[in-house]
Structure 1
């Protein structure tokens, strides 16, 4: 089998080491690749004919993507994990100590171990290609940079800038890397290799990279003395705890490692880094986050839409806030012109205003330059006319959530568009088959369910009806990825996947309120469990009128197992709609939440009588119905696998990522155990908790994951 590295001597003593991992689209540090690099570095250490060495990649889009995540996923021994970190430390230290300067020539994605090897190089240069990203994303996997990143990054760009990158797992463009001092030079992508060789010849035989660039007065004051550094670390710790609620140990350990490397020296920092890897790599949080990463990678590999041309001429029918959000996303992420069609001028104005606000927010946060903002805003093409839709290859319908209206829109569109155009609906609750029943080409009718707010929620449910072709579903999934979203393909059915599961969760929260549990205790239970927002507060955010409407639709579909208290309509009928009306279960001043409204109890006819309840028990009552229904969804084929269901729940509801997803959490608890708990709740609370036959079957097979593997 050919090796992963190729060493070539060049003119003027400039040699090139090319990384090209066989049979892989990306370069990663497998154990075999590390062993080979170890041997090469040992050989290079005794060479006297090399005056400078360039490290490059043969992959067109990727420099080095980092360590082998699959290998990390299978590590169960802390000693093994720590040993792997120390092995990388030794190799990279030997690379850093080579008797000639080294140049890391980064022309594509450079993450994790790739960035750490680049930091151990004498010089780091990047291409100006727009898709280049460089960073240390290990925090997102529940671990810390394990091959020297926590030690070398602060020495390269300073403490403040390093913490900003390491604690958030950020990967930044080449231009920003150069500005921050992470990269020493940035060259045009055209002619990059020639410019790198020229740069290397200039460094041949020279001293190593000197001190980093000036960090300014603020940086000098904060980082130039122990008290300033202690203040920076203290503030970073406080911010991290506020963001993670202490549920993610990796950021706090990264802070400790960085601080150790600065205060006690590189050797102590490397030692702290290895020990942190040993502890974190086997933690449940890391295993959950790595599992989610694996599911995301698997979903990309499963995409089969390559045969169809990518979307080039999209349109959205139905303006307003949702239409404006979709149009903004298409213009921003795909840089495509998009027709925004409505029958009313005020709706078009609302859509354009909403898109403009989103672009303005990006400019304020320095994520978009004003000139780019103007260019992208100009891609939105508002119109009251039907003419022009025949040129579109994708039309996304976002009109009012009314079946008759949507059917009329689809019937009309199907006669106007080309024979290859896809008709997608953004419905959140109506049947795809029913919406498209009057369409001419039903095989090209599909659901493209964006979650609100469109610019923030990462999930898109791609809903396949009975007639939807696999090519159509794959094309929409591919387009969703172009928009920066995570698509999950689901089958048409009441509530699809996410809203169906959320309905059982929300219903149980309402029953707890009906039983006299306090609003704040119900929501606090789920916040403490790891959800980003409590279920009652979420109802206000969605709109109590919308929640009631969807609740009735799903109750009709699922019967008594999804029942709601009789007062579900009372609050919206009184004008309590939630955030949009300023009053719901909570009170609001604009979008600022002012706390629960005590008057709600009287309006609902309930008495808050439970004081200091067991919040963990409340959370269990709300989560278990989702597990029960998830088993039905999997058995019915609503979603293809437990992994896809977990992705949908994490990206569509904010289900705690450190738990890995609903199915993974349930498997960790043990499905047989959860069946027993549901049986006890069925006796004590009500028949709606009765374990489903589907859940019993999954439990008998050893869990969701085991059953999935057995199929």
Structure 2
């Protein structure tokens, strides 16, 4: 044994070859934490002190190779400042360069995921072999940073600047065949032959059949691009990537600049450019928030996993109601491997649901995400029916009929009588009380809410709503099924609107107030889109549907009359009364026409302005900051109330629900992290400055106490 640590071992194998194996004790995956990097330095020192070695093989004893740096350390490390980050990265560069400069050929056996620092680790060796199911990539730009351990330097020299820009700016996980195609790896072999193939490459290199020294020289030299080629590659990429990334995500463009600046430099100078750019990006609010988002996602997944351990598996499901929503649920279930019954009372409705599922599956085939055979299997896993005849062995039912308490109550009572006593029954309601719906049931402990967001196939969030009598068993089964469907379930307690809609409608309340005080809804849309929302509030209401919004707003007003009830007619009421329902009938705040692809395209409609004119009480100009404050303060305060009321368990779950459910700008981290970024005391002052607008803008006493004590939602 040459070296033994808690994460790394080095031993001699075969013909004087050292094998450095990553196997982090107590963890299911390998990651490059600060402690592991220190061990790696010790292991490399031990290798350098070992005489007569002829090669180095780097491998992993885990299912994954290395998933990257330890993101849990990022906030603490970023807090140490730019100079510290540059120095830290330079130390890693020195270590990785030492591996790259060892006096014998080197190879990495990539058996599983090699991401971020794990990918950069593989780039230090002369050769790479990869298992067919392994993936490799540099996802750092998704965290608001860029590869800082040589990815921006080595990858362009290995696979070309254009391919490297695509990998780095896209943050993609690349399959083995794609990695082989662009030259990121030298061979793809079956997992059980991977190690032997790697050792064979070393033997060929030592026999002079493979020029490993030429490989090194290329990685240490400037990029082989003439000035015209360089201009074409880098300037074209900047324009394309800027359009894709948008103004709020600077790291992809910064990564291109790093590659461009380092293209004419030697290895060490290019690495210094990279280290400084990494530190610059790490100090941005965007990086802080996106790293926080990753951590929050881990919290949500951990909680879901804890529920899954208690769950009985859902082997067969059913959905009641075969409209667009029911068809979407059926598609999602079947495409992820759970057979599903789809019941309706009308044949034409069943056909509508099947057509929806077929359309979504066909799109996956078109995009090479699924074979025709897999599409056929998925369609066969959806069984339409007009009766409850085969519901006896269904494990979980999703009720997705019209949003009407009486109809839902009747349907739920009916289905309960036709399923096994231990079957779980759920309601895909967006506003109706789970406790109220449970009153219709004989086994309320087996009932909970399962709120999908539309369109089902795109929206990642599922709210799992626990009623007063809902059992842990019912919640666990519903969470497990949602996860199996590829969704992110977040468990919340019952209240009007649950979490997401309860938080969203104060935001709409702020919007209605702005319009009544003279704000142009088109301008409000543009300001909020500039702030980072995927669409402004007027456009969002058109997409949601004004009829749906009016109904949900009435539920919110009844549930929280002190701050959400309105004495006078609202903008929503006026639109609804004039049958302007939004995109569904092509008239809302905007008018909609189909583009060449058949998608609705919004147009200005003067009639909308004429309809809301009688409601306008004032006429004044609002600054962008005023618009943002009047929109965001009610949303953030309602999120605080949901946390204080125990509707949602943690700040992480609250923020992730808003990001996954309504498109809260990810780079801002969520409503509670947004308050933290402003400072709780500053946020309370901002809310107090808007006190004349009513209770929707009133901070809670607990929030005032937090402000006084200098506390935050996130440590």
User: Structure 1 length as normaliser, TM-score?
Assistant: 0.92
Report the equivalent of 2:119: 115
The residue matched to 1:463 in structure 2 has which SS? strand
Instruction: Map 1:57-136; keep pairs closer than 5 Å.
Output: 57-59=60-62, 61-75=63-77, 76=79, 77-129=81-133, 132-136=134-138
Report Cα offsets for 1:629-664 as digits up to 9, x if no partner.
Answer: 122111110001112111111111211112111001
Matches within 5 A, 1:9-408: 9-59=12-62, 61-75=63-77, 76=79, 77-129=81-133, 132-190=134-192, 192-198=194-200, 200-206=202-208, 207-208=210-211, 225-302=226-303, 303-304=305-306, 305-332=308-335, 334-408=336-410
Residues 1:692 and 2:696 aligned together? no
Q: Deviations over 1:428-474 (max 9, x none)?
A: 11111222333333222122211111122121212111122234323
Pairwise CA distance, 1:210 = 9.0
- Partner residue in 2 for 1:603: 611
| 1:606, distance to aligned residue in structure 2 (A) | 4.5
For residues 169 and 667 of structure 1, the distance between their equivalents in structure 2, rounded to whole angstroms, comes to 28
- Corresponding residue for residue 650 of structure 2: 641
Tell me, what secondary structure is at the counterpart of 1:12?
coil
Match of 1:662 among 671, 674, 679: 671
After TM superposition, give the deviation of residue 254 of structure 1 in Å: 0.7
Residue of structure 2 in register with 1:216 after alignment: none
SS in structure 2 of the partner of residue 264 of structure 1: coil
For the 8 Å contact 2:108–2:198, the answer to whether it is kept is no
Structure-2 separation of matches of 1:465 and 1:141? 36
Match among 555, 558, 561 for residue 559 of structure 1: 561
SS at match of 1:147: coil
Distance 1:27 1:582 in 2: 52
Is residue 341–residue 383 contact of structure 1 (8 Å, CA) maintained in 2?
Answer: yes
Superposition pairs of residues 430-469 of structure 1, within 5 angstroms: 430-469=432-471
> What is the CA–CA distance in structure 1 between the aligned matches of 2:197 and 2:225, rounded to whole Å?
35
Q: Equivalents in 1 of 2:61, 2:168: separation in Å?
A: 27
1:526 is matched with which residue? 528
Residue 218 of structure 1: aligned partner: none
Provide the C-alpha distance between the structure 2 equivalents of 1:62 and 1:268, rounded to a whole number of angstroms: 32
**Residues 404-423 of structure 1: matches in 2 within 5 Å?**
404-423=406-425
**C-alpha distance in 2, partners of 1:102/1:377?**
49
Asked if the contact 2:593/2:603 (under 8 Å) is kept, the reply is no
> Could you tell me how far 1:673 is from its partner in structure 2?
2.2
Judge conservation of contact 2:129–2:194 (CA < 8 Å) in 1: no
Tell me, in whole angstroms, the C-alpha distance in 2 between the residues paired with 1:79 and 1:322: 52
* Aligned counterparts of 1:209 and 1:566: Cα–Cα separation in 2: 77
Where does residue 219 of structure 1 map in the other structure?
A: none
Q: CA shift at 1:198, angstroms? A: 4.8
* Cα distance, 1:682–1:62 mapped onto 2, change above 3 Å: same
1:265 to partner: Cα distance:
4.0
CA drift of 1:598 comes to 1.6
Aligned-pair distance for 1:164? 1.8
Shift of 1:289: 0.8
Aligned partner of 1:615 among 604, 624, 636: 624
**Counterpart selection for 2:478 from 476, 479, 482:** 476
Give the 3-state SS of the residue equivalent to 1:705 in structure 2: coil
Distance in 2 (CA, whole Å) between partners of 1:117 and 1:673 is 44
C-alpha separation between the residues in 1 aligned to 2:559 and 2:52?
A: 77
Following the alignment from structure 2 to structure 1, what is the Cα–Cα distance between the partners of residues 652 and 417?
39
CA RMSD after TM alignment: 2.4
Does structure 2 conserve the Cα–Cα contact (< 8 Å) formed by 1:52 and 1:203? Answer: no
Structure 1: stretches of 5+ with no match in the other structure: 213-221
Q: What's the CA shift for 1:203?
A: 4.6
Shift of 1:383: 2.3
Q: Which stretch of structure 1 is more off in the superposition, 516-525 or 351-360? A: 351-360
2:576 aligns with 572
Count of aligned pairs: 693
Equivalent residue, structure 2, for 1:629: 638
Report if aligned partners of 1:175, 1:186 keep a CA contact under 8 Å in 2: yes
The alpha-carbon deviation at position 10 of structure 1 amounts to 1.7
Q: Provide the C-alpha distance between the structure 2 equivalents of 1:110 and 1:610, rounded to a whole number of angstroms.
A: 58
- Give the whole-Å Cα distance in 1 for the aligned partners of 2:227 and 2:332: 45
Change (3 A) 1:586 1:119: same
2:592 to 584, 588, 592: 588
> TM-score with structure 2 length normalisation?
0.92
Q: Deviations over 1:326-348 (max 9, x none)?
A: 2222233x223222222222222
Following superposition, the deviation at residue 618 of structure 1 comes to 0.7
Q: Describe the SS at the equivalent of 1:9.
A: strand
* Contact 2:558-2:565 within 8 A present in 1 as well: no
